[in-house]
Amino acid sequence: MSRILSILIFAFGIFAIAGCSPSYPKCHTDQHCQTDGRNEWCVGGMCKMCRDDSHCSKTNPCMECGTDRTCSKKAKCCMSDAECPGEKCWKNESSPALPGECGDVCLRVTCPEGQKCVGGSCVPNQECLDDAGCPQGHKCVNGSCVKSEQCVIQTIYFDFNESAIRLDQEATIKANAACLKQLGTAHTVVGHCDERGDSEYNLALGQRRANSVIRQYKTLGVDGSNLSGLSKGEEDPVCAEHTQTCYQQNRRVQTLPRP
């Protein structure tokens, strides 16, 4: 009889305990938090999303259990570049399965001399490929823009009553064309004559001389849109003596920067 009574008392106790299970989110054990499809944990008598980091990091190692017992992502932690907008996920190459850290693309890259970090990769440290990639007054030397020496445009001289380029002036023409291409700025090509002949004829001759030089510049690759021609005729001599030497100095074409 006493044995039967003991069994009844034990069964009643179990029933009583079961019947006193706390209402969610209150809990006594983890089991109280894992009913009705929930997968939570009993922490301090309340059901919480997590009790420690292991409850959060199963699907993503960057997740951790916060002080409020909810799962959140660790700051800067990443598994791939997609988790680092505008930055790179730096990971230990010997342990790629472990989390990395989001950071600037060149945060941990030390490139060899002569290279720079671009997009997380070391590439040649070239500021330019040719002179076109450098600002005015600079040229491309070994991938870097360096200030070039200012070139000087020289005067072109002509024979009496001629507008054709003299053979001894071709080298000067070529040097001028190279300088104009380097400068890349607008210039006016001005033709001049000596005082012999009437002013109207000399004005036309000066224009023919200017046009002749412009044609040669264009042939040598100078941008024609940067060139314009003008004749001063005999109006602007550099020498006022009535000698052959003086006349030769006045039969000229000057290439001047356009204001």
Segment 117-160, tens digit of pLDDT: 665 566 667 777 777 778 776 777 667 776 767 788 999 999 99
Residues 66 and 103 in one domain: no
The reply to whether 30 falls in a domain is: yes
On the question of pLDDT at 253 being above 70, the answer is yes
Residues 70 and 115 in one domain: no
**What's the pLDDT band for 15 if we cut at 50, 70, 90?**
very low
Bigger pLDDT: 1 or 50? 50
Q: Exposed, middle or buried by CB within 10 Å (0-12, 13-18, 19+), for 41?
A: buried
pLDDT digits (tens, 9 = 90+) for 159-214: 999 999 999 999 999 999 999 998 899 999 999 999 999 999 999 999 999 999 99
The reply to whether 14 falls in a domain is: no
Are 181 and 238 in contact by the 8 Å Cβ rule? The answer is no
Q: Give the C-alpha separation, 102 to 204, whole Å.
A: 73
The reply to whether 252 falls in a domain is: yes
pLDDT digits (tens, 9 = 90+) for 88-128: 888 877 788 888 888 876 545 556 666 666 655 666 677 77
Q: Which of 144, 174, 162 lies closest to 205 in space, CA to CA?
A: 162
Q: Which of 98, 144, 151, 146 lies closest to 125 in space, CA to CA?
A: 144
pTM: 0.46
Residues 56 and 84 in one domain: no
pLDDT digits (tens, 9 = 90+) for 214-247: 999 999 999 999 999 999 999 999 998 999 999 9
Residues 253 and 172 in one domain: yes
Residue 249's domain spans which residues?
Answer: 156-257
The reply to whether 231 falls in a domain is: yes
Q: Give the C-alpha separation, 6 to 95, whole Å.
A: 60
Are 32 and 41 in contact by the 8 Å Cβ rule? The answer is no
